[in-house]
Structure 1
Amino acid sequence: MTTDTTSSPPPPESLGKGPHRKTPGPDPTVVGIGVVTVLLVVGWAALGQDSFSTAASGSLDWVLRNFGWLFTIGANAFLVLCVYIALSRFGRIRLGKDDSRPEFNNLAWIAMMFSAGMGIGLMFYGVGEPLTHYFDPPPFGSAEPRSGEAERAALEYSFFHWALHPWAIYGVTGLALGYATFRKGRGNQLSSVFVPLLGKRRAAGWPGRTIDLLAVFATVFGTATSLGLGALQVARGLNITTGIEDGRGLHLAIITVLGAAFVLSAFSGLHKGIKWLSSINIVAAALLMVFIFLAGPTVYVLNAIPAGVGPYLQELLITSSRTGAFGEQDWLGIWTIFYWAWWMSWAPFVGTFLARISHGRTVREFLIGVLLVPSGASIAWFSVMGGSALRLDSTGQADLSGPLDEGVESSLFALLDALPLTALTSVVAMLLVMTYFVTSADSASLVMGSLTSRGALHPQRWLVVTWGVLMASVAAVLLVAGGLEALKSGTILVALPFVVVLMAMCWALLREMREDPGAGPTRHHALHGLRDAMRVMVGEAVSEHHRSRHWRLRRAASRVTEDAESGDQEPDRL
């Protein structure tokens, strides 16, 4: 199959901006099928809660029993592939033309990756997950609840779920999208990555549309899970700080209000909406973490970082290979497999964001940065937030088991209650979750608008708003139908077919990168061998030209000297 050239395509910002090119509009078929399918799910969950819950529970059990291994293998494959590509000759390829340079400097690039690494999930689970493992240790060892071994396991498994594996999933997806968009000049949609496998015609036809639809469904349910978690946490914060009754009515009211804020953000435009709120998120999250670090058990946190990272890296091979074959299926379904499904469902969203900020960087720079920078941020976040909670409970300064029994969403506010300035920090935490709610819906809606608009980088606003409203609706009905467990079930079920799509995406990416001249020479490759042969031939021709010129100059000099000696010419003229 003939591959595209690597030096000719313009950056995606210029695609569709010429006098004869127009920005792609919505694909009516893809939009119609996607919207109708999501509405059917919303209607079923709203009108038939019992049947929906029964079907979701039965389907989830079937998936965990038969396909838990697929999620495990898929997540590990992404991590191995990231390391391989970064260290191989493919790392020399640029996400753009060969002479492209990064669009953003290193400091701005890292800051934007931090904004992608922080979100509702870290706010929701930053304290709740370590505490849960501390009070009820994972069933893979002999740790007793509230023991020192339980503290170590709590941080180890939190790092395992939030560090390298999720960012490997995002990194490979972002690399594939950035390579297809910037290097090959194709549309900004997942189906464009599959051109090496499907061909251009089929990638633009129904096979490609099916891939984009699966990406849309995965993003809808993955983001809806985050929005649902955010609504639960804001509701609990309002209950603690103001005494408002926490219930389904409050959850729906929060989703409605924050959904309206998202609509205003979407209509205000990318730079006025998402960029402004994202800057607030970064500053507020950093300030909150620094405050807890200084006001809490600072020395313990400093000790906990290396003490938790060491066991995490040492046992990474063991923790990464568990599939539930020996009786841990329920625990893995609640934690590890749910996380892998959640990250995979977010892959189109976060991958698109990472790709768009990485134009001009080499593949090696991109993968090393995406793997290490956000992973380091996640480790620091869990060490400060979760580590502080573990220490306060283990030393008796606060009893955090009671609030955790009320729900994971209560744990953050229980920690803040044990530290100074409780009222202020609780309000900051609630506002932070709210802004993450808006930016998550806003950014994910842009991605889905692009996927359903033939890869347009700036989809029409009505379409963006439509997808945002549908996401909020999914979050609302899943909360009503079954709360947190329904959100998790929906994410795992929708992510199952998408695992296969992402694995095929890896194959397509490797197949195309092998043909890229920017990767450098390799053995047993006709194109690279031809290129090397041409270089040798050109080098020999240049050398022969220099030898011939040198011989002619020496002969001319000899003739001038002979003429001078015979009196026909002055030697100075030489």
Structure 2
Amino acid sequence: MVTTLSAPVVIPSLLAVGVLLLLCAVWPQEADDLFSQGQRWVSHHFDWFYSLAVTVFLVFLIVVAASRFGDIRLGPDDAKPEFSFISWSAMLFAAGMGIGLMYFGVGEPMQHYLKPPTVAGSTPAAAREAMLTTFFHWGFHAWAVYGVMGLVLAYFGFRYNLPLTMRSGLYPLLRHRINGVWGHTVDAFALVATIAGIATTLGYGVLQLSAGLHQVGGWNTDSDWFRTALVLAVVVLAGLSAATGLDRGVRRLSEINLTLAFLLLAFVIVTGPTVFLFQALSENIGNYLSSAVALSLHTFAYEPAREANWFGNWTILYWAWWISWSPFVGMFIARISRGRTIRQFVVGVLLVPTAFNLLWMTAFGNSAIWLDTHVALGGLAQTATNVDALLFHFFEYFPLTKLLSWLAIVLIAVFFVTSADSGAFVIDTIASRGAVNSPLWQRLFWAAVLGATATILLAAGGLKALQAVTLVAALPVALIMLALCYGLWQGLRADRAHYSQDLAPSTNFWSGRHWRRRLEQMVHQTTEPQVRQFLRETVLPAFQDVAAELRGTGADAVIHQDENDGSMRLIVPHDGLRDFVYGVRPVRKTLPAFLVRNAADPEAQGHIHEPVTFFEDGREGYDIQYLRQEEVIADILRQYERYLSLNADQRTHLLSRAPGHTEARKAAPD
């Protein structure tokens, strides 16, 4: 059977998943206690680190997008986006947080409203703080986590042509070692985290679907057989979607998701407290933007233990959850973003989903709080702890309750199919080390693995334990992501230097004559005596010819030589202006190790000497070692023409009128 799977990644990953399943299925309570203690320990001791790391991710993305690196394309310079902006946005929304919005759109604002961290519950202040906190958890910071992972993978995958896997982001740090044990370990870790995260989410999604079907249809949905059937249905539909390919399957499902979500959102806004919702949206956005900096680094260090516990159980839990999901969502975002510039990527990933999230949370969260206060009179608050069914209790206060609930069930189901399909695609990509055109059976296999994992955990009651494992694993993932940020910055610097490197002046002037001599110079390292000889035999005569011609026109020109550093310069003074100086000096440069190893000269050393120009205004010089005498003269005249042109420009007088250095005008013998 044809396969692209990488054994060093797949085998350890499946063994690790098998061990975790065994623990969570055979000893669910013990595993839950053990892993939950680990989760609480990590949250308590590293809450500051999570807050700092997530904030760094957001600032890093903004800086990269605003810098000159923002114009770099994710792929070759002529690459074009594979998907339209609408399709791309729909897939971002569906893969990243679509199912979470359905689950927490009502549940989180209501729980914060009833038990806010710093004010009294069930008050207007509590409502304001509930929406601010919800915005914070689902806004820019969450998408910055996904954005960093997605940008790193897309950049190194499409720009450096490295495998579209997590190991590739560490290329600037590990270099060739990404193909060894270190790279296999990183990818295996990402594979286990992705399987655990998606399977856990599928499990909780089945619980919400079951609650909805029980609430709406009155079905008995508590049996393991029914939940297993739901998982099987999701896996089968995901397999059918996988068979049609990413461009057709996931894209079409995502567009269906977005359409249904907008219909549901519009219905809630129009039939709910419409004017209040728009007023609340404006105030929510204002509160969020004005409080974003303070919230980003707030760790409740000075608050009582109650608030600190709330911080660990909510904000830190969210940051850990987004980080643990970042290999999956980031990989998927990277795959669909080829051809976009870095600036387009960052703006799209940060702004588009965040804007939709804020609108969604306002429509559902503020509507729930308003209904509980004005209509239900505490009825929603009484069921707020049952998050699985809370959305469907919320719909009871709207017209067309049954139709609305069925629409939500369909939307949740399609979200799950999309998550399972895109999850199988991402897992297969990691397991295949980024191989393209892997056989269909592999994606179907991973979809089956996800379904089997979710089914076993549901039957054994081990979902909470595996969720705790996933959140603990977020700590090393966060450390890896910080390393990825450093690696990306190094890669971008190398990218900009590579593509902005122009041909040397010696090439611009070169006509192709004496090419054998020039080739010999290029493949052998130039020594300092050879550079000094070049200055005496080529540069100095060129200076003398130009100086003699200038003197013949009535201008002054002097040549100065410095025996200490071997430099020489041609100086043309002008009264009231900065002197024109064209100088050349020997410069010693260190060579990269691989150039020394591959040099044609068997006695090659780790450095080279070059004749490099320098100028009075401090501009960066360049190597002229391949120029012949008449070409040096042409370069001098080019720089002199620039000098005269700048002096005639009123905008540059602040520099050109600066006092020139005249102490070196003493002429050397011609």
Q: 2:340 aligns with which of 358, 361, 366?
A: 361
Report the Cα distance in structure 1 between the residues aligned to 2:110 and 2:637, rounded to whole angstroms: 75
More displaced 10-residue stretch of structure 1: 439-448 or 242-251 = 242-251
Work out whether 1:154 is the aligned partner of 2:137: no
Q: Determine the structure 1 residue equivalent to 2:349.
A: 370
Structure number with the bigger relative contact order (C-alpha 8 A, sep ≥ 6) is: 1
Work out whether 1:262 is the aligned partner of 2:242: no
Contact kept in structure 2, 1:127 and 1:382, CA below 8 Å: yes
Work out whether 1:81 is the aligned partner of 2:57: no
Q: 1:440: how far off? A: 0.3
Q: 1:330: how far off? A: 2.9
Q: Determine the structure 2 residue equivalent to 1:221.
A: 196
Q: Determine the structure 2 residue equivalent to 1:135.
A: 114
Q: 1:404: how far off? A: 1.7
Contact kept in structure 2, 1:188 and 1:457, CA below 8 Å: no
TM value normalised by structure 2: 0.72
Q: 1:251: how far off? A: 3.4
Q: Determine the structure 2 residue equivalent to 1:209.
A: 184
Give secondary structure in 2 for the equivalent of 1:315: helix
Q: Determine the structure 2 residue equivalent to 1:48.
A: 27
Aligned residues: 518
Give secondary structure in 2 for the equivalent of 1:311: helix
Report the Cα distance in structure 2 between the residues aligned to 1:408 and 1:111, rounded to whole angstroms: 26
Alpha-carbon displacement from aligned partner over 1:54-105 (angstroms, at most 9, x marks no partner): 2222222222222222222221111111111111222122212234344444
Work out whether 1:317 is the aligned partner of 2:293: yes
Distance 1:108 1:461, change over 3 A: closer
Alpha-carbon displacement from aligned partner over 1:402-441 (angstroms, at most 9, x marks no partner): 2223x11222111211101111111111111111111101
Alpha-carbon displacement from aligned partner over 1:330-387 (angstroms, at most 9, x marks no partner): 3233221221122112212222222233222221221122111111010011011112
> Which structure 2 residues correspond to residues 548-559 of structure 1 after superposition, within 5 A?
none
Q: 1:238: how far off? A: 0.9
> Which structure 2 residues correspond to residues 32-431 of structure 1 after superposition, within 5 A?
32-137=11-116, 139=117, 141-142=118-119, 144-200=120-176, 202-247=177-222, 249=224, 250-323=226-299, 325=301, 326=303, 327=305, 328-397=307-376, 399-405=379-385, 407-431=386-410
What is the one-letter code of the residue matched to 1:180? F
Contact kept in structure 1, 2:87 and 2:255, CA below 8 Å: no
Give secondary structure in 2 for the equivalent of 1:100: coil
Q: 1:158: how far off? A: 0.8
Report the Cα distance in structure 1 between the residues aligned to 2:453 and 2:137, rounded to whole angstroms: 25
Report the Cα distance in structure 1 between the residues aligned to 2:352 and 2:384, rounded to whole angstroms: 30
Q: 2:495 aligns with which of 498, 516, 530?
A: 516
Contact kept in structure 1, 2:31 and 2:465, CA below 8 Å: no
Q: 1:461 aligns with which of 404, 425, 440?
A: 440
Q: Determine the structure 2 residue equivalent to 1:474.
A: 453
Alpha-carbon displacement from aligned partner over 1:277-306 (angstroms, at most 9, x marks no partner): 222211111111111111111111101111
Q: 1:519: how far off? A: 9.1
More displaced 10-residue stretch of structure 1: 80-89 or 155-164 = 80-89
Q: 1:476: how far off? A: 3.5
Alpha-carbon displacement from aligned partner over 1:182-209 (angstroms, at most 9, x marks no partner): 1111111111111110012x10111011
What is the one-letter code of the residue matched to 2:266? V
Contact kept in structure 2, 1:225 and 1:475, CA below 8 Å: yes
TM value normalised by structure 1: 0.83
Give secondary structure in 2 for the equivalent of 1:404: coil
Distance 1:242 1:511, change over 3 A: same
What is the one-letter code of the residue matched to 1:263? G
What is the one-letter code of the residue matched to 1:234? L
Report the Cα distance in structure 1 between the residues aligned to 2:485 and 2:640, rounded to whole angstroms: 50
Alpha-carbon displacement from aligned partner over 1:3-37 (angstroms, at most 9, x marks no partner): xxxxxxxxxxxxxxxxxxxx981111211111121
Distance 1:483 1:206, change over 3 A: closer
Contact kept in structure 2, 1:34 and 1:217, CA below 8 Å: yes
Q: 1:450: how far off? A: 0.8
More displaced 10-residue stretch of structure 1: 117-126 or 162-171 = 117-126
Distance 1:262 1:247, change over 3 A: same
Report the Cα distance in structure 1 between the residues aligned to 2:435 and 2:260, rounded to whole angstroms: 32
More displaced 10-residue stretch of structure 1: 338-347 or 370-379 = 338-347
Q: Which ranges in structure 1 are unaligned for 5 or more consecutive residues?
A: 1-22, 549-574
Distance 1:49 1:358, change over 3 A: closer
Distance 1:391 1:184, change over 3 A: same
Give the helix-richer structure, 1 or 2. Answer: 1
Larger radius of gyration: 2
Distance 1:284 1:118, change over 3 A: farther
Distance 1:195 1:410, change over 3 A: same
Give secondary structure in 1 for the equivalent of 2:338: coil
Q: 1:110: how far off? A: 3.6
Q: 1:232: how far off? A: 1.5
Give the strand-richer structure, 1 or 2. Answer: 2
Contact kept in structure 1, 2:140 and 2:354, CA below 8 Å: yes
Work out whether 1:443 is the aligned partner of 2:422: yes
